[in-house]
Amino acid sequence: MEIIRKQVIQRVDPESQERGTTAGQAPAQELGTQLIPKERYTSDAFMRREWEEIWTKVWLLGCREDQIPQPGDFMCTNIGTESVLLVRQHDGGVRAFYNVCMHRGNRLADEGLAHTDEFSCSYHDWRYQLDGRFADIPDLHTFPQGAPPCDGLREIPCDTWASFVWFSLNQEVEPLREYLGEVAEHMEHYHFERMAMTRWVTAEWNCNWKASVDAFSESYHTARTHPQLLWYLDDFNVQIDLYDKHSRYLIPFGVLSPRVESAPEIPPPLKVLMKNAGIDPASYEGSIGDIRQAVQKHMRANQESLGKDYSDLNDDQLTDDYNYLIFPNINLNTHADDLMLFRNRPHPSDPNRMLFDIWMFELLPQGEPWPELPKHDFRPEGSHRSLGLVIDQDAANLASVQAGMNSAAYPGLWLSDQELRIRHFHKTIGDMVGD
């Protein structure tokens, strides 16, 4: 059995820490070692309990604010069996409504971005203003009971944070900032409002949504699934922090994995990291083990000439992946120059299927023109177009994982300490569904 030795990773120094997201270790939680039953991934009954006790109770990510900049711009987004309209108002605010006509239940819009002066039902032309109120009900005089007493579309809670629009199907939901807890303060240092959206992809996957969350919540699988990353990051000496509902890990980039014995020269992935930071690998005279800190120092010293402001980030944030899970379904890989956000959505009726959204953002140099928003790229199940090497590698596992979970031979998840975020994720699920 191979024993992987811990290597010393210099974490952020106190002076740097004062200006960035905390790198402090969160208090440990006693989570036990119990098996996680597979039925949480395969059972129709458990899927219904999740819908009733989780999806209809929490805050959910809907869109980016700059996707709906003008009055009448709206995003229609689906979650499970529901569909929601996120609508920019004339006063500049955003409001959220169920995407359903109050006459005969017809949906008013298809999923995606659009613009309208008012919502019109394609069935009988019942129309609604941007604020959800009835604009017109054709032949209202033929309804002896009058117009529905609701006055229009059913509104749901909506709020914005860090340039994103959030909604909840729960009328009594806690304030968004309270729900996000310490994670909100952590992530505000990145100034996502300065990052432009560069990619928007949705893929249909044959797995439960939690299997996808799991894949992006631990580094234990890196050596087997992503061997190329062993020349770029430390997949073993990972700091795991568990909060109330949410979690994170801090994974050092710019170093070799302890699973790699040595490298006679700078590996190509580290050369790419250096070049992206403005360092010529051919002129670098330090050791491979010092590349991470050299990149941090170079980025800090040259941020003005790069047209970027890293003043609210600690030094480690200039290289490392601060990877967060915002419960229940948002994985964020946060970096100084970019954000890779994954939204894992449940299928409306099948626990063995899901929708996987990729939203990519890049920090623009100051003064650079804001690019056009990317078009939505939908990948139906069976599409063979690449989502990127690392995601392709993860996706290749997930259908097989789901098939195996449905085997009579498999009882459930047997987790290691490297997978504590998954155990914490399931504790949160269990607390909410009462299991």
Say if residue 192 is in the same domain as residue 291. Answer: yes
In a domain, 100, yes or no: yes
What is the C-alpha to C-alpha distance for residues 37 and 300, in angstroms, rounded to an integer? 47
pLDDT at 239: 97
Say if residue 49 is in the same domain as residue 102. Answer: no
pLDDT in tens, the chain (435 residues): 555 666 656 666 655 556 789 999 999 999 999 999 999 999 999 999 999 999 999 999 999 999 999 999 999 999 999 999 999 999 999 999 999 999 999 999 999 999 999 999 999 999 999 999 999 999 999 999 999 999 999 999 999 999 999 999 999 999 999 999 999 999 999 999 999 999 999 999 999 999 999 999 999 999 999 999 999 999 999 999 999 999 999 999 999 999 998 888 999 999 999 999 999 999 999 999 999 999 999 999 999 999 999 999 999 999 999 999 999 999 999 999 999 999 999 999 999 999 999 999 999 999 999 999 999 999 999 999 999 999 999 999 999 999 999 999 999 999 999 999 999 999 999 999 998
Say if residue 299 is in the same domain as residue 217. Answer: yes
In a domain, 5, yes or no: no
The CATH number assigned to the domain holding 110 equals 2.102.10.10
**Cβ contact 63:86 at 8 Å:** yes
Say if residue 164 is in the same domain as residue 88. Answer: yes
In a domain, 4, yes or no: no
Say if residue 307 is in the same domain as residue 417. Answer: yes
Supply the range of the domain harboring residue 148.
60-172
Summarised one tens digit per residue, pLDDT across range 93-114 is 999 999 999 999 999 999 999 9
Last residue of a domain, one of 127, 145, 172: 172
Summarised one tens digit per residue, pLDDT across range 48-63 is 999 999 999 999 999 9
Summarised one tens digit per residue, pLDDT across range 121-165 is 999 999 999 999 999 999 999 999 999 999 999 999 999 999 999
Report how many domains make up the chain.
Answer: 2
Say if residue 302 is in the same domain as residue 419. Answer: yes
Say if residue 44 is in the same domain as residue 188. Answer: yes
Say if residue 297 is in the same domain as residue 207. Answer: yes
The CATH number assigned to the domain holding 266 equals 3.90.380.10
In a domain, 103, yes or no: yes
- For residue 204, which of 345, 77, 398, 381 has the smallest C-alpha distance? 381
Last residue of a domain, one of 120, 140, 172: 172
Say if residue 138 is in the same domain as residue 232. Answer: no
Q: Which residues does 88 contact at the CB level (< 8 Å), separation at least 6?
A: 68, 69, 70, 71, 72, 73, 74, 94, 130
**Cβ contact 32:422 at 8 Å:** no
Say if residue 379 is in the same domain as residue 328. Answer: yes
pLDDT at 15: 57
In a domain, 280, yes or no: yes
Say if residue 238 is in the same domain as residue 264. Answer: yes
Last residue of a domain, one of 146, 172, 198: 172
Instruction: Give the other-Cβ count within 10 Å of 290's Cβ.
Output: 15
Say if residue 91 is in the same domain as residue 52. Answer: no
